[in-house]
Structure 1
Amino acid sequence: MDIAVIDYKGGNVQSVLYALDRLGVRATLTADAEQIRRADKVLFPGEGEAASAMQELRAQGLDQVLPTLRQPFLGICLGMQLLGTHSEENDTTMLGILPFEVKRFPAAADYQVPHMGWNNLQRLRSPLFAGLQEQDFVYFVHSYYAPVGAYTIAEAEYPAPFSAAVQHQNFYAVQFHTEKSGPVGTRILENFLKL
């Protein structure tokens, strides 16, 4: 199986490559459009800031390539947010693959921003979560979120519900870090590789 991990100078790439390696899957870190198009599966990890990530994607021409992909695609953390239309983070225009606008968590007395740490998944509705249970825990690190919508395939709360995972056609994405989420994250990666 040919797995492409998109290289757009975003963080967290090595952790994803290590997680795949632990599953016995060798992946290629690449920004080459043709290599990405030919891959059987594509992973789009991310950590960092929306505007600089989009700037790098545009510089490499990947903002034009990614929306045209037809193979199973998994965005992780910032890689999920970039699939939306717009982010409040530095007023950034995103890829527009999914119809959500990324919002900043509001300040609340009992909730700190960023949302960082373990939180449970709720209302799972996708083969991506096969074998998992409602209330399984995954690891989040984010200050921005996608609201719940028709595209939502899993939710979490902080303090209100938000999209923990989304899907549109072949595009799947999770707000949490699969590679830092222990056995639950490993199972999600395994399920993605079976899609």
Structure 2
Amino acid sequence: MKIAIVKYNAGNIYSVVNALNRLGINPVLTDDIEELSSADKIIFPGQGEASGAMRYLKERNLDKVIRDLHQPVLGICIGQQLLCRHSEEGDTDCIGVFDTEVKRFTPSSHEYKVPAMGWNGIYGMKSKLFKGIPDNEFVYFVHSFYVPLCQYTAAVSDYIQPFSAALHKDNFYSTQFHPEKSGDAGERIIKNFINI
């Protein structure tokens, strides 16, 4: 099975490579259209800033390529946000798989820090991605922006307000949290994606 990781202007991609290596998978890290199109599964991970990441993708036509993929795709963190229609970060038009906006967290009191960073529970899961994952399992988040609850929400978490911890539409799956940094639960979620 060929697993491709989208190489673009974002950080933290190598932690996903390492997580797959631990599962005995040697992924291809690429921004080559042919390699992405021919992969069995694609992971679109990263940390970074939306406008710079989208600029890199558009310059290489990767935004259109990703939108038209038919194999299973997993977006992680900014990967989830870039799969949405628009982000408040840099007033950025994104790829548009999920017809929803990405919003900036606005702290409602001094106890809430932005970026939201650390372990948080997820619940209300409805996707093959979460097979065997119990409600309120803790996973690891680092983010200043979030996707509100919407028709594509596949898991929920709470920080300041409930938000989409995961999305799902057709062959596109995504998580706001980092499964590659989420211990046994995260490893199970990655395995579930590989088995889809």
Q: TM-score range by the shorter chain?
A: over 0.9
Aligned residues between the structures: 195
User: Deviation string for 1:154-187 (max 9, x for gaps)?
Assistant: 0000021000000110000000011110001000
Structure 1 match to 2:4: 4
Corresponding position: 1:132 with 2:120: no
TM-superposed deviation, 1:46: 1.3
User: Deviation string for 1:41-74 (max 9, x for gaps)?
Assistant: 0000010100000000011110111111000000
Over the aligned positions, Cα root-mean-square deviation in angstroms equals: 0.6
SS of structure 1 residue aligned to 2:114:
coil
Matching of residues 1-195 of structure 1 within 5 Å: 1-109=1-109, 110-195=111-196
What is the percentage of aligned positions where both structures have the same residue?
Answer: 51
User: Residues of 2 paired with 1:131 and 1:119: CA distance?
Assistant: 18
Once the two structures are overlaid, the 10-residue window that deviates more, 55-64 or 74-83, is 55-64
User: Residues of 2 paired with 1:84 and 1:25: CA distance?
Assistant: 28
Normalising by structure 2, what TM-score?
0.98
Normalising by structure 1, what TM-score?
0.99
**Unaligned residue ranges in structure 2 (runs of 5+):** none
User: Residues of 2 paired with 1:20 and 1:87: CA distance?
Assistant: 29
Contact 2:107 2:160 in 1 (8 A): no
Q: Which segments of structure 1 move beyond 3 Å, counting only runs of 4 or more?
A: none
User: Residues of 2 paired with 1:136 and 1:158: CA distance?
Assistant: 15
The aligned amino acid for 1:166 is L
